[in-house]
Every structure is written in structure tokens, then in C-alpha cells.
């Protein structure tokens, strides 16, 4: 298919790790992205990974890329209530145009 797929909802407890998964479709994507959107706000670039990398770590965030399976994941360590938001996975399909998944709503409970 042509869609970027994400699970719609994830609930975790504060202090746990969160893992948000995404599958994409274009094996020629150069970059893959994770964005965070809080209610009524725009998209905040969390991290991105170049397609020739398998992993990228940035403080509490770890991105894993499996190109063979076209699978991307975002792990948030020590999840906090402030991490509650919608997380979008996106792939670049050439000329910087991005195709987004429908977003995963992360709910962090105290």
C-alpha cells in the first residue's frame, strides 16, 4: 500500500519506556522522521534518521530503523507526563516532501 502505518494509541505509566512503531512503504526514502504534536499546536521535530543508519540515540529518544522490513520505532526512556502527545512518523519521498502516518496518541499516567 501507499500508507505509513502507526498504531493509534499507547498508554504507559510514568517512568516506563514507551515504544511507538511505524511501518513505511518507500524503500528509497532518504530520511525518516518522528514529530510530536501537542493539542492545538504545530509539529515539533523530535528526531530523524538517515536511511543508511540502523539506530540513532538522542538523550531519552532512541530510533531504530529496519530497512528490510521498512519498520521504524521510537523509544522514549523514562516517559514523563509531559510526553503525552500525538507522535507522527513520516517518510521523505523525494524533494523533501513528507508522507505522514495517522499518529499515535501516547498517554502517560502518573
Partner 1 sequence: GAVVSQHPSRVICKSGTSVKIECRSLDFQATTMFWYRQFPKKSLMLMATSNEGSKATYEQGVEKDKFLINHASLTLSTLTVTSAHPEDSSFYICSAPRQGTGEQYFGPGTRLTVT
Nearest CB to partner 1, comparing residues 75 and 102? 102
Residue 25, interface with partner 1 (CB under 8 A)?
no
CA distances from 83 to 2, 21, 70, 75, 77 (A): 29, 16, 25, 12, 10
48 binds partner 1, rule: CB under 8 A: yes
CA distance 83 to 85: 6
Query: Is residue 96 involved in binding partner 1 (CB under 8 A)?
Result: yes
Torsion of CA 50, 74, 42, 31, to 10 degrees: 10
User: Given the rule CB under 8 A, which of 20-28, 60-68, 77-85, 87-95 is the region that contacts partner 1?
Assistant: 87-95
Binding positions for partner 1, rule: CB under 8 A: 30-31, 33, 35, 40-45, 48, 50, 88, 92, 95-103
Amino acid at each position: 500500500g501507499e500508507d505509513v502505518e502507526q498504531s493509534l494509541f499507547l498508554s504507559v505509566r510514568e517512568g516506563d519506556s514507551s515504544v511507538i512503531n511505524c511501518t513505511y512503504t518507500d524503500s528509497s526514502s532518504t530520511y525518516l522522521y518522528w514529530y510530536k504534536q501537542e493539542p492545538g499546536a504545530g509539529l515539533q521535530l523530535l528526531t530523524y534518521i538517515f536511511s543508511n543508519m540502523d539506530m540513532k540515540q538522542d538523550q531519552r529518544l532512541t530510533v531504530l530503523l529496519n530497512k528490510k522490513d521498512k519498520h521504524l520505532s521510537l523509544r522514549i526512556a523514562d516517559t514523563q507526563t509531559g510526553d503525552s502527545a500525538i507522535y507522527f512518523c513520516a517518510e521523505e519521498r523525494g524533494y523533501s516532501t513528507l508522507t505522514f502516518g495517522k499518529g499515535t496518541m501516547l498517554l502517560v499516567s502518573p
